[in-house]
Amino acid sequence: MAHINICGNWGTLVVNAETGEVEDHHLNGSGYQHIKKFDIAEYTKAYGQPPVGDLDILDLGYWAGDGTYIEADEYHREMTGTGWSPIIANEATGRVLQ
């Protein structure tokens, strides 16, 4: 069974790469203790491939222990260029908008 590491300011969560379930954690505080499962299907759809290796916690949506769903951070994805396309589709459109 493959694992991925979800990393952030509060530490690292070791996650089952297929199910998204948190299997272990190495935390620097209590910030991620409420996270139970990550949304692997949404990540795969947004990135065009399943997650592998070490990932930023902002890249994935997750479910908390109480069932609350927290979406992936859209601003982070915009800044890293994942799942987004430019507003100006071509040079001609850019000239019109100037």
pLDDT tens track for 31-83:
899 999 999 999 999 989 999 999 999 999 999 999 999 999 998 888 876 65
Alpha carbons 12 and 22: distance in angstroms, whole number: 10
pTM: 0.79
Alpha carbons 13 and 16: distance in angstroms, whole number: 10
Residue located via tokens 């948190």: 22
Cα four-point dihedral sign 36, 28, 25, 15 = positive
Three-state DSSP state, 80: helix
